[in-house]
Amino acid sequence: MSKNKGTAKKTDYRTGIGLASLLIVIFYSVRWLLSRKAEYDWISRTTVQAVSYLIGCAGFIALSFFIIKAADRLRHEQIFIVLYLVLGLAYMTVSPLSAIPDETEHMLRTYGITTGDFIPPVNEQGEGGSYCPANLTYLWDRSGVRLKYMSDNLWMRSSGEKTFQTYSNTAFYSPLTYLPQAAGMLITRLICDRPYIIAYVGRLCELVASGILIYYAIKLMPFGKNILLLLSLLPMNIYECASLSGDGMAYAVTLLIIAYSLWLRYEKKEVMNNKEIVKMYFLLALVASCKIVYAPFVLMAFVIPPERFGGKKQYFIHIICAGIMIVLLAVGWPLLIGSRYLLEYMEGVSASAQTVYVITHPWSFVQVMFYTLIQEGEWLVKTYFGLSLSYFNVDCGIQVLFISAGSLIYACCFERLLKYEDETVLSIWKRPTVILGAATVLSIVFTFLSLYIEWTPYRAESVLGLQGRYFIPLTFQTVYLLKKKYGRAETGKEGTAHPDIMTAPAVCMCAANLIVLVTLFVFYV
């Protein structure tokens, strides 16, 4: 890298950080003023909307300037992390606690982990939960609280009285699902006894941890970086990453295990060192633990060739050890521990009977899947692109769909994905595309199956509770499997993508995010 190019990169970084800092200061200042508008009678709702849209326009201009200036100088992952953190902090701020579905339960589960309840106790009704401060969820209302109430209670201290608070729908998940949130909340609890601050630190840790993992996924992925960058900037994805939910971490680790496995196969030519092996085991553990529906991507370990382990003997030893760990985490936890928390809340639901029905009538279940896609197609699209947020009571407008979908489709159409020559000489069952395809299909089936068994009445004709956001972690690999790939020498490197493939879609994706942010802010202020 030349000296001038290095200086330009530093300038772009400073520009991005400066613009981000300015936006954050302006945003938090106006948010504080408007969230306390009861004290200022001269501020009407029309004024709130006008000011919000002005901030959104200023943010769009600033982020567009950064993208255009940095597109041909910074790498994809560097551009991503700046945009992600700016937008993620904004989402974390405009969304009150519990505004994201089940965030109260995620908060209680995480708080329980910090007190040592890795396996939550159950009450007389069989509901999982933990003993937490009585006011831990004070003013958390699923109907939608206001930002000013969050500001008013930010300095509220934890109650000395502890009560058993239940969270059976999240008690099922492994503690590793909440690793970043729990780490941040545990450290905060040691120095602070204010539940709202503890919760927001948990959100921040989830946002940062997911962003770091996605950063490395984009960096390591041998191809399709433009698609991966835009997919990671989808409004729904950042919205979930900026919450206490584990969905952001599930998305990040799913993409990272794919990227890391392909990097080890195609880019790294030497034997893996101990540090790289530990990273592989850690990622496999996270994938197996975060969400059972994405656990099939542990199969990506088979993409790594034996020579990276130092030979076939070492390869089989690691495969056996990793297999034992994966079975304990992905199968042992749900069956032996997590199953005790699965309660049948919906009328007509019988998990045991539904399981037997699926096993004995597999073709009927396939028909249920296709019927669900046809019947709920519009809903899946809306909940994929973030048109309906919170408890589906915040409508962000059809323009968000057109802008974000158009940006993603543009990148998918014009990005040149690569086909490596060694795939054509391998037997079909050893080809990375076959392994990736099998993991993707299994994950799609598991997504339908989990909701059909746990949430859908016995022998229903369609799956209930399905949302489009569940398929965001499966999009990149689906595009790669379906899109025509272009050949190249096996030892070549992709090089820098043309800025025009990424610049316009990235600017549009930022516009979609800012529309969603303004909508959320106006709704909750």
Please tell me the distance from the alpha carbon of residue 35 to that of residue 278, in angstroms, as a whole number: 47
**Banded pLDDT at 285 (limits 50, 70, 90):** very high
Range in 58-67, 189-198, 483-492 with the lowest mean pLDDT: 483-492
Predicted pLDDT at 361? 93
Q: Which tokens hold the place of 512? A: 């979609």
For the stretch 107-148, pLDDT in tens is: 999 999 999 999 999 988 888 999 998 888 876 665 557 777
Predicted pLDDT at 428? 55
Q: Which residues contact 146 (CB under 8 A, 6 or more apart)?
A: 35, 96, 524, 525
**Banded pLDDT at 443 (limits 50, 70, 90):** very high
CB-CB contact of 523 with 394 (8 Å): yes
Q: Say what percent of the chain tops pLDDT 70.
A: 83
Please tell me the distance from the alpha carbon of residue 23 to that of residue 8, in angstroms, as a whole number: 22
**Banded pLDDT at 9 (limits 50, 70, 90):** low
Q: Which residues contact 4 (CB under 8 A, 6 or more apart)?
A: none
For the stretch 89-104, pLDDT in tens is: 999 988 888 888 888 8
Please tell me the distance from the alpha carbon of residue 292 to that of residue 287, in angstroms, as a whole number: 8
How many residues can be counted in the chain? 525
pLDDT at 437 over 80: yes
Q: How many CB atoms lie within 10 A of CB 393?
A: 12
Q: How many CB atoms lie within 10 A of CB 24?
A: 15
Q: Could you please report the per-residue DSSP string of 156-225? A: PPPPS-EEEEE-HHHHTS-GGGGHHHHHHHHHHHHH---HHHHHHHHHHHHHHHHHHHHHHHHHH-SS-H
- Region 352-381 average pLDDT: 93
Predicted pLDDT at 29? 57
Assessment of whether the complete model's pTM goes beyond 0.85: yes
**Mean pLDDT computed over every residue of the chain:** 84
**Banded pLDDT at 493 (limits 50, 70, 90):** very low
pLDDT at 307 over 80: yes
For 125, phi then psi, to 5°, come to -85, 0
Q: Burial, 236: exposed, middle or buried (Cβ in 10 Å; 0-12, 13-18, 19+)?
A: buried
- Region 206-214 average pLDDT: 96
Q: Which residues contact 226 (CB under 8 A, 6 or more apart)?
A: 76, 411, 415, 497, 501, 502, 505
Please tell me the distance from the alpha carbon of residue 73 to that of residue 14, in angstroms, as a whole number: 13
For residues 255-288, one letter each, b for 16 or more C-beta atoms within 10 angstroms of the residue's C-beta and e for the rest, the string is bbbbbbbbbbbbeeeeebeeeebebbeebbbbbb
For the stretch 231-252, pLDDT in tens is: 999 999 999 999 999 899 999 9
Q: Which residues partner with 512 through β-bridges?
A: none
Predicted pLDDT at 487? 61
pLDDT at 385 over 90: yes
pLDDT at 476 over 50: yes
Predicted pLDDT at 366? 94
For the stretch 501-510, pLDDT in tens is: 788 899 999 9
pLDDT at 499 over 50: yes
Q: Which tokens hold the place of 153? A: 């209670």
**Banded pLDDT at 384 (limits 50, 70, 90):** very high
Q: Say what percent of the chain tops pLDDT 90.
A: 48
Segment of 24-28, 253-257, 313-317 carrying the highest mean pLDDT: 253-257
Kindly list the domain boundaries of the chain, sorted by start residue.
3-98+201-524
pLDDT at 26 over 60: no
